[in-house]
Structure 1
């Protein structure tokens, strides 16, 4: 997500570009510092970027951060068929949906990225984005397509302070 409007470049394409750069960085870091340190740097970089993107999305909320505004991000995430989302449910303080197809993960695998990067470049973003959006927002997602599950069951809960 970042500072530039997401409509300029489709989010899926933006993620592919980022993934290519991060894969190169991972290769260099692995050679120089070892796999564990390289993965830690990638994880921190992705989490930091996602947290800041969440903050930027919250800043764009017309009436301040809220669950009702937050759920609109799913439209950005699925733009261009990037995600197939089913079973959407919403209450005043909770949103649930199941991702049954994730072209982000598919793209990373098609690019030949090492499997240890796939979840770090895709799935790891979600919790950091939610945390950046608001400390009131909590994500629960016990499994993912990237980890071999049949879907990604997302539950976002809004806990008022």
Structure 2
């Protein structure tokens, strides 16, 4: 079950609110269950929410989920300067781009979230969102800014199967 947040809240602000709550939940879970179990709960929770968001986005696709529609999500992700995307390429069956600046990661650092948690509340979303959008869609992203990389190279591939 997901609470509705007013639409005037930017996605970046929403993620900060969620991260603050998840950080508190994580601290309690670590005390009760240990670090590994706490991280697993956070991973499952974030992945579940991201899959549902991907399904909701897919439901908006005229004619059903497809790569051209999915590629429009990058504009949503960039709103309010949340991401700086460069090197965007769209080919039949593939969309790729690099995130050169991630204000999500910056925000989580400012909040004092440990890297292990920041990666899970932010970066983990992307593959689960893609999987929720369509089983035909896969994400390859070998590095993230949140885990210390200079950029986040995204490649989404559509495999009609």
Question: 1:108 — aligned with what?
Answer: 108
Deviation at 1:62, TM superposition (A): 1.7
Deviation at 1:7, TM superposition (A): 4.1
Question: 1:131 — aligned with what?
Answer: 131
CA 1:83–1:97 in structure 2 vs 1: closer, same or farther (change >3 Å)? same
Aligned mates of 1:6, 1:64 — CA distance in 2:
27
Which structure 2 residue ranges, 5 or more long, are not aligned?
A: none
Question: 2:159 — aligned with what?
Answer: 159
4+ residue segments displaced more than 3 Å = 2-8
Question: 1:16 — aligned with what?
Answer: 16
The number of equivalent residue pairs is: 160
RMSD: 1.5
CA 1:108–1:51 in structure 2 vs 1: closer, same or farther (change >3 Å)? same
Question: 2:31 — aligned with what?
Answer: 31
Deviation at 1:113, TM superposition (A): 1.1
Aligned mates of 1:144, 1:21 — CA distance in 2:
22
TM-score between both structures, scaled by the size of structure 1 = 0.95
Aligned mates of 2:73, 2:4 — CA distance in 1:
15
Question: 1:66 — aligned with what?
Answer: 66
- Greater helix fraction, Structure 1 or Structure 2: 2
Aligned mates of 2:6, 2:150 — CA distance in 1:
28
Aligned positions of 1:36-115 closer than 5 A:
36-115=36-115
CA 1:5–1:20 in structure 2 vs 1: closer, same or farther (change >3 Å)? closer
SS at match of 1:96: strand
Please tell me whether the aligned partners of residues 50 and 128 of structure 1 are also in contact (alpha carbons under 8 angstroms). Answer: yes
Please tell me whether the aligned partners of residues 115 and 147 of structure 2 are also in contact (alpha carbons under 8 angstroms). Answer: no
Which structure 1 residue ranges, 5 or more long, are not aligned?
A: none
Please tell me whether the aligned partners of residues 54 and 132 of structure 1 are also in contact (alpha carbons under 8 angstroms). Answer: yes
SS at match of 1:64: coil
CA 1:111–1:5 in structure 2 vs 1: closer, same or farther (change >3 Å)? closer
Question: 2:144 — aligned with what?
Answer: 144
